[in-house]
Amino acid sequence: MFSSFFSTVPPVDPNAPNFHPVSSAYQPSELFGELEPKDTEWACPSGFAVETQTFYQFLEDGTSLMCQVIHSAVGVWYPTIQFTCKIYNPNTKETTWKSINVSNFVTPPPGLDKRSSKADQFSITYKSKPGSETPESYLITANLGDDLQITLDVARPASVPGFKVGKSPKGGFSYFGPDPENAEGYVVHRFWPRTQASGMLVHNGKAVPVKGAGMFVHAIQGMRADRVAARWNFANFQSDQHGGVSAIQMEFTTTDAYGRKGAGSGFVTVNVGSLVVGGKLAAVTAETKWPDEEPAASAGIISRAVHSKKANDPDTGYDVPTELVFRWAAPSLVPEAQGPVDATLTLDVGAPDAYKGLIEKVDVLAEIPYVIKTMVNYVAGTKPYIYQWLNRATLNVNVPAGLIPDVAGPTEVEGIVYNEATFIS
């Protein structure tokens, strides 16, 4: 944590690139990087870093379920490990939120590898069944208090491999600083873009069966959160139509300090995503939006989240979206269905005084551990908020023949989408 005060690094050109986005690092044919076992192992980095395993699931009645393990390191302090869970039922508007600092966190647990972890309050066990219809899965058990216990089996279908952006050991990584080999920080995401969950919630003594589709992401922010990004967007669309459809995106925009001409050239947007169509991984997308360039209206690869309509929210002071448009386009990855795959998701989330499907406006500083909160608040003076929505939605897809039986060209897919818009500074 003291390296910035006692630096022995030789001076660099102040106009040299000091941000190296994963979305510009690979050719279109190299965007799909299938996950290696080590990609989803717990790294438990030191310094200023946050590592997460997050499971997003939808239940058959439209309820959203999120389970997350957060490993937070702050300088020389001992890491804080949290298990968080949010359940939102759109039919009753009931939200259940748990955030527990766990004790005796271990990875790997005895007899398992570092894709698994356990603590006194939970266990997440990675299971491998090569050659089966679900070759990989996680068994999650958690006791989050007298009023909430969870048992979930989250499985990845064989036809939907996990991925990172980029066919290389460095796939998935965006690097901060002039020298990627000695980076000041990094961001990396690894995904299972479609999962099937089964299990049980016991909430206030009542057993609730869990069955439905979702996604899993393992991510690391290897730098202080307020230095990584000024904005984030996230979308998770799932549908059981046409053999299973999924459209996911993760996007962040750097602070002004990191860009391709050094400090002051930032606000670079990195977007990565994927499309699952017909129960198969159909496309992986990645795109960089530089602040001095307008993205092309039509391109071979498109991966974008646009706040197409905005309004000021007096609660937070931010100009927040009232409409969002998510867009994906890339060549098909399915050998028997060659050609471009394209999808658009338009979400009307309503105005700040009349939101549609808003779960919560999360005041991040109110939720994170005290030591991290005082550090972030003191250093950055930020006021981060996460807007979370859950809505029924229509994904407009345009597919080549062979992906969906008896469909070639444009079609509509009805499903459910969970999305977030995060404002940090």
DSSP annotation of 106 reads B
Instruction: For each of the domains in the chain, give its residue range(s) and CATH number, in order of start.
Output: 19-423 (2.40.370.10)
Q: What is the DSSP string of 191-250?
A: EEEEEEEEEEEEETTEEEEEEEEEEEEEEEE-S-HHHH-SEEEEEEEEE-GGG-EEEEEE
212-221 pLDDT, tens digit each: 999 999 999 9
Q: What is the mean pLDDT of each run of 10 residues along the chain (425 residues)?
A: 42 87 96 97 93 97 97 82 96 95 97 98 98 97 96 98 96 97 96 98 94 98 90 98 97 96 96 98 98 90 98 96 98 96 98 96 75 50 89 97 92 98 92
Residues in a beta bridge with 323: 309, 348
Q: Which residues contact 199 (CB under 8 A, 6 or more apart)?
A: 140, 150, 151, 152, 153, 209, 210
* Residue 43 confidence (pLDDT): 97
* Residue 367 confidence (pLDDT): 67
Residues in a beta bridge with 386: 362, 422
